[in-house]
């Protein structure tokens, strides 16, 4: 009985995903409380950033959450993680070509926020 309900929810989820519109696809990439903030900071800097620099310009985010968000963005192909073979480890994060295509969306969000701030 439980198995049947579980399979029905998987089928429903797959159907929803395959028939979703492009807005849903964009929101799937930008989902998460910190995702847009991280992408915006990387766009704003224009250069690769280290973990500590991203944490510094993203107040309120914990190290655990930042790690999770960076991994998720890397898995989605939005950011690139480059590890330098030195001791101590040196890791930099930058936007991929796909990630830079989000710039118009974030610029529009910024413009909207500025025009509607009180």
Contact indicator for 34, 2 with CB cutoff of 8 Å: no
Per-residue confidence band for 28, with pLDDT thresholds at 50, 70 and 90: confident
Domain holding 105, by residue range, is 22-115
Around 99, how many Cα atoms within 13 Å sit in the side-chain half-sphere?
A: 27
Q: Where are the alpha helices (DSSP H) in 19-87?
A: 22-30, 35-45, 51-56, 63-75
Q: Note the pTM of the prediction, 2 decimals.
A: 0.78
Any domain includes 9: no
Count of the separate structural domains present in the chain: 1
Q: What is the CATH number of the domain that holds 61?
A: 1.10.10.10
Q: How confident is the model at residue 32 (pLDDT cuts 50, 70, 90)?
A: confident
* Residue pLDDT, tens place only, 61-94: 999 999 999 999 999 999 999 999 998 889 999 9
């Amino acid at each position: 009985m439980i198995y049947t309900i579980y399979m029905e929810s998987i089928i429903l989820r797959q159907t929803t995903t395959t028939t979703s519109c492009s807005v849903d696809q964009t929101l799937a990439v930008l989902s998460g409380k910190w995702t847009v903030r991280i992408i915006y900071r990387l766009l704003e800097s224009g250069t690769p950033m280290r973990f500590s620099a991203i944490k510094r310009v993203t107040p309120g985010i914990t190290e655990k959450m930042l790690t999770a968000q960076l991994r998720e963005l890397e898995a989605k192909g939005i950011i690139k993680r480059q590890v330098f073979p030195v001791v101590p480890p040196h890791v930099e994060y930058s936007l991929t070509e796909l990630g830079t295509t989000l710039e118009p969306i974030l610029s529009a969000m910024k413009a909207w926020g500025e025009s509607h701030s009180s």
